[in-house]
């Protein structure tokens, strides 16, 4: 096991030691556009939280290459079991800002009906499983889906995302062990961003690298420069092809950095130095890929501003649409568990409605979701 990292684009945007993967001009531009759109969404999302318009936000700033580059290696029918720090995967799969913002606002058009925390998206129509807050739970879910596909002989791969902290969870062990033994068509993507909230990597694992953990489960572990989108894509494509060919799972360690705080509830200046932030600021995956594209004649510097403006106006329209929607109806609380309400649920609904009508429950009229 080596601690060396796969790299295609050096930090200054020049070619590095590994050959670039074969991607067309259109594909390269799609990846870059998605990375930039993700960065803009994050910046706006965080501001919405600071303005008190949404309750919570969690940024993926600095990790765009890691999650978008790896998801780009999948086919649309493959399943994704993502973490909360991967919004670009949804954009890549065609989910709109508006659909995402309805979820962040928890409004009547939110497909999670205000039951999930903001940014905990769930889009079955693009094979993206619901994001769970408890760390590591998506890992076993992905292994289960991969096994189901194998039993049904569907040529489907499940890709799951988690952080460095996630490798210390019970579910990481359970999922990796099972997938190793049964050669499940699963790709494990660890985005090692150096931190689990305020806990640095060496505070939660004594392993030399995250990739080294693969060896114990009998699968390859590949360490990749996670701020180099082409290296990420290259490694992910190999792992996906391997899984689809029935050769079993792979663990990818994408070495990256969380450029923002853990979430809107965190102040990272309390545990990270300015020097550290500056050092990693110079490794920004977006700037690096842009330099590579410009050098190769795939992108022009001037195109950035044009794209940023169009993304921002799309975002603005999506925010306005999300703010126009009311909350989900109170009765929706009783939907989606049983096909028909049971007698007990019917009783509870009656009691709740009466309490609202009598004003003994605070919040306003029936229909408003009480937060
Ligand atoms: C089982 C569980 N334990 C603790 C938490 C609280 N928690 C939320 S995020 C987080 C850090 C996770 O770090 P990492 O896996 O590295 O992911 P990152 O946030 O860096 O992307 C913790 C401890 C949780 N959500 N679930
Ligand atoms: Mg982390």
**CATH says 25-324 is which class?**
alpha beta
Does the CB atom of residue 67 touch ligand 1 within 6 A? no
Q: Ligand 1 pocket check: which of 42, 137, 138, 165 to mutate, most ligand atoms within 8 Å of Cβ?
A: 165
Query: Is the CB of residue 184 less than 8 Å from the CB of residue 249?
Result: yes
Does the CB atom of residue 164 touch ligand 1 within 6 A? yes
**How confident is the model at residue 362, as a pLDDT?**
57
CA atoms within 13 A of residue 273's CA, in its CB half-sphere: 3
Does the CB atom of residue 165 touch ligand 1 within 6 A? yes
**What ligand 1 atom has the least distance to the C-alpha of 63?**
21
The alpha carbon of 162 and the centre of ligand 2 are apart by a number of angstroms equal to 8
Residue 227 backbone dihedrals phi, psi, to 5 degrees: -100, 10
**How confident is the model at residue 363, as a pLDDT?**
53
Distance CA 169, CA 153 (A): 30
Of 113, 258, 288, 290, the catalytic one is 258
Stated pTM of the model = 0.95
Q: Ligand 1 pocket check: which of 197, 199, 201, 203 to mutate, most ligand atoms within 8 Å of Cβ?
A: 197
Q: Does 258 participate in catalysis according to the annotation? A: yes
In the chain (371 residues long), the average pLDDT of successive 10-residue segments reads: 82 89 97 98 97 96 98 98 98 98 97 94 98 96 98 97 98 98 98 98 96 98 98 98 98 98 96 97 97 96 95 98 92 88 93 82 48 33
The alpha carbon of 190 and the centre of ligand 1 are apart by a number of angstroms equal to 13
Max Cα–Cα distance, the chain, nearest Å: 71
Bridge partners, residue 253, by sequence: 190, 223
Distance CA 157, CA 75 (A): 8
Does the CB atom of residue 260 touch ligand 1 within 6 A? no
DSSP code per residue over 138-190: HHHHHHHHHHHHHHHT----EEEEEETGGGGSHHHHHHHHHHHHHT-SEEEEE
**How confident is the model at residue 244, as a pLDDT?**
97
Q: Does 102 participate in catalysis according to the annotation? A: no
| Residues 6+ positions from 257 with CB-CB distance below 8 Å | 62, 63, 193, 194, 227, 280, 283
**How confident is the model at residue 93, as a pLDDT?**
98
Q: Does 262 participate in catalysis according to the annotation? A: yes
Strands 199-200 and 195-196: antiparallel
DSSP code per residue over 55-122: S-----TT-HHHHHHHHTTS-TTSEEE--TT-HHHHHHTT--HHHHHHHHHT-TT-TTTT-S-TT---
* Burial letters 189-214, b for 16+ CB under 10 A, else e: bbbbbbbbeeeebeeebebebbbbbb
Query: Is the CB of residue 313 less than 8 Å from the CB of residue 321?
Result: no
User: Which residue's C-alpha comes closest to atom 13 of ligand 1?
Assistant: 196
Judged by its nearest atom, the ligand closest to the C-alpha of residue 60 is 1
Handedness of CA 119, 82, 292, 275 (dihedral sign): positive
CA-based radius of gyration for the chain:
22
251 SS3 class: strand
Q: So where are the chain's domains?
A: 25-324, 329-371
The alpha carbon of 117 and the centre of ligand 1 are apart by a number of angstroms equal to 15
Residue 24 backbone dihedrals phi, psi, to 5 degrees: -75, 170
User: Which residue's C-alpha comes closest to atom 7 of ligand 1?
Assistant: 135
């Amino acid at each position: 096991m080596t601690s060396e990292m796969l790299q295609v684009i050096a930090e200054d945007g020049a070619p590095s030691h590994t050959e670039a993967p074969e991607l067309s001009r259109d594909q390269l531009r799609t990846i870059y556009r998605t990375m930039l759109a993700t960065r803009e969404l994050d910046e706006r999302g965080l501001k919405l939280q600071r303005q008190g318009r949404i309750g919570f936000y969690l940024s993926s700033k600095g990790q765009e290459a890691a999650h978008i580059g790896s998801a780009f290696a999948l086919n649309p029918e493959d399943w994704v079991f993502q973490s909360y720090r991967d919004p670009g995967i949804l954009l890549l799969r065609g989910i709109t800002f508006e659909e995402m913002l309805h979820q962040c606002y928890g409004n009547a058009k939110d497909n999670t009906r205000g039951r999930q925390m903001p940014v905990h998206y769930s889009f079955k129509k693009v094979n993206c499983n619901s994001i769970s807050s408890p760390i590591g739970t998506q890992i076993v879910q992905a292994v289960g889906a991969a096994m189901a596909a194998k039993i049904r002989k569907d040529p489907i791969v499940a890709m799951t995302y988690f952080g460095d902290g996630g490798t210390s969870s019970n579910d990481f062990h359970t999922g990796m062990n099972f997938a190793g033994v049964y050669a499940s068509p699963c790709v494990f993507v660890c985005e090692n961003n150096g931190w689990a909230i305020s806990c640095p990597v060496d505070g939660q694992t004594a392993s030399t690298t995250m990739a080294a953990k693969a060896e114990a489960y009998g699968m390859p572990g590949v360490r990749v420069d996670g701020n180099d989108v082409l290296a990420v894509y290259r490694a992910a494509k190999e792992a996906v092809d391997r899984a689809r060919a029935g050769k079993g799972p792979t663990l990818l360690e994408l070495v990256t950095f969380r450029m923002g705080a853990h979430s809107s509830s965190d102040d990272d200046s309390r545990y990270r130095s300015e020097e550290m932030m500056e050092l990693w600021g110079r490794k920004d995956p977006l700037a690096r890929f842009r330099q590579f594209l410009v050098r190769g004649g795939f992108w022009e510097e001037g195109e950035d501003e044009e794209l940023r403006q169009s993304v921002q106006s799309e975002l603005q329209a999506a925010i306005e649409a999300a703010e126009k929607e009311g909350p989900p109806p109170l009765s929706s609380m009783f939907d989606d568990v049983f096909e028909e309400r049971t007698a007990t649920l019917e009783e509870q609904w009656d009691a709740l409605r009466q309490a609202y009508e009598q004003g003994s429950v605070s919040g306003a009229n029936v229909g408003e979701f009480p937060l």
